[in-house]
Amino acid sequence: MQQIIECVPNFSEGNDLNIIKQITDQIESVEGVRLLNVDPGKATNRTVVTFVGNPERVVIAAFLAIKKAGELIDMSKHKGAHPRMGATDVCPLIPVANITMEETATYAQRLAKRVGEELKVPVYLYESAQPDKSRCNLSIIRAGEYEGFFKKIKEPQWKPDFGPAEFDAKRGGTVIGARDFLVAYNVNLNTTSTRRANAIAFDVREAGRKIRNEQGREIVQPGTLKCVKAIGWYIEEYGIAQISINLTNINVTPVHIAFDEVCRKAEDRGMRVTGSELVGLIPLKAMLDAGKYFLKKQQRSAGVSENELIKIAVKSMGLDELYPFKPEEKIIEYMLNEKARLVNMKLNDFANETASESPAPGGGSIAAYVGSLGISLGTMVANLSSHKKGWDDRWEEFGNWAEKGQLFKDELLRLVDADTKAFNQVMTAFGMPKSNDEEKAIRSKAIQEATKFAIEVPFKVMQASYDSMEVIKAMADIGNPNSVSDAGVGALCARSSVIGAFMNVRINAATYDDKSFVQDIITKGKAIEKKAIAMETEILQLVNQKIGV
């Protein structure tokens, strides 16, 4: 699974678009990074830039942007409404997908070390990247701002984490850290009253509201949602009041929980939520979790496709009330994804492409696709069983099986295109120049790397297809008996996928030089193949016993 982090550097220039463009050009020069947003502010004289990608590539892009900002921005002449201390004032890294906060903090520390050592800029760590919790708060670090740091940096407790303990008059200092992903989210109300919207905001936000206790003393009554900031406002464009929410940690309070809580508090105050609005981007997992949440509230299986989960989330939270919700423009992973050419084809086009004189897609891609069909049948039986009349008390049990099946299906579909990509990489390597010894060595290394990838992809197909047979067997055993033949066909597909993928592992392994690697993966492959054949036999026995004819 691809690791993705977001980087949101703030540069102390909001008026000169040429300077801003030169900085963002550095970011866009790095392959594997996607520039998502550039938001210059004239009054603050500050630009907030958002980009995402593979962590290694994001760190490179951030370094280049910080370097260019230091060359172009002169802090001794800077004026602006926002607190600031450097040309690159702050640069947070944010985990988005398949990466922990601890791992993200390590990348932030690596970036800070490089900026301090190579660029000679004083750097402070903050939030999760800062091991000293007495100086992890950004506002405390930045107190005194640019003008005050010439003296502050000389104080022992404010020695930079990296870089010189000398404040650079032109570039200033910078703060680099790791923090949680922030989702900006507005909930729409059937009122135009800012005061009433604020009342709901105070009900839910973590900071709550000030009230007087029985003794007449002013105290703070916390709101119901942790890691939530909120305020009510009136939006003239839409003619409605909204609760404007910042979800500062969606692992603590996800967007769907915030929506439901606002609905409850609005109803308590005689108002209704009519929909909501996502400002900016959101990770895919947040949308999938929302879809599952609302399906399970209906006591329905959440083991449905990714597209269906997103559709349920959008409709349940009214994310399309004000304007169409376009997943390809709102979900971070979708903005980064390369288009999967094969799995997006129509069935007849895929068959025609396979039958053509082109060598790809070949057996590896077909093995993966057959495996995806096998587990799709198993997942179908799980969903039918979850919704079977008279089995209402078992909807969750079968829904869990369906969710597991969806994961295998999605992985196998991904591997359809991955196998063809692996084949193409081998062909590209063989096509490299070989006119001298250096070129021959580079070509030989590229061929071996591509060949290893071409071995690993079908081996992953084997693993996923065999593992998926657990779901298929369960559905043959305890699933809707009217669909037991579907489970049987699923088993045939899964077994064929394993055997077919292993053929591709073996033929590619024959030309790989690392024989210890080859021996290991062939041994593992034989074991998986043997277990898959045995599992198919068990499943077909169950199926034939239930069919009985």
Phi, psi (rounded to 5 degrees) for 178: -130, 130
Report, in angstroms and rounded to the nearest whole number, the Rg of the chain calculated over CA atoms: 28
Helix (H) or strand (E) holding 5: strand 4-7
Q: Is 78 a catalytic residue?
A: no
Cα separation values, 84 from 13, 68, 75, 180, Å: 11, 18, 9, 21
At 29 the three-state DSSP class reads coil
**Do residues 286 and 312 touch, judged by C-beta distance below 8 A?**
no
Burial status of residue 422 (CB atoms within 10 A of its CB: 0-12, 13-18, 19 or more): buried
CA-based nearest residue to 317, from 391, 383, 263: 263
Which residue out of 89, 168, 203, 419 is catalytically annotated? Answer: 419
- Coil, strand or helix at 279: strand
> 459 to each of 35, 129, 507, 529, how far by Cα in Å?
34, 37, 12, 11
DSSP 351: H
> In the annotation, is 180 catalytic?
no
Q: How far apart are CA 350 and CA 366, in angstroms?
A: 10
Which H helix or E strand runs over 94? strand 88-97
Instruction: Give the integer Cα–Cα distance in Å for 195 and 317.
Output: 23
Which residues are bridge partners to 219 per DSSP?
211
The alpha carbon torsion through 357, 363, 369, 374 (nearest 10 deg) reads 140
**Which of these is catalytic: 16, 39, 82, 387?**
82
Q: Which amino acids are annotated catalytic? A: 82, 419
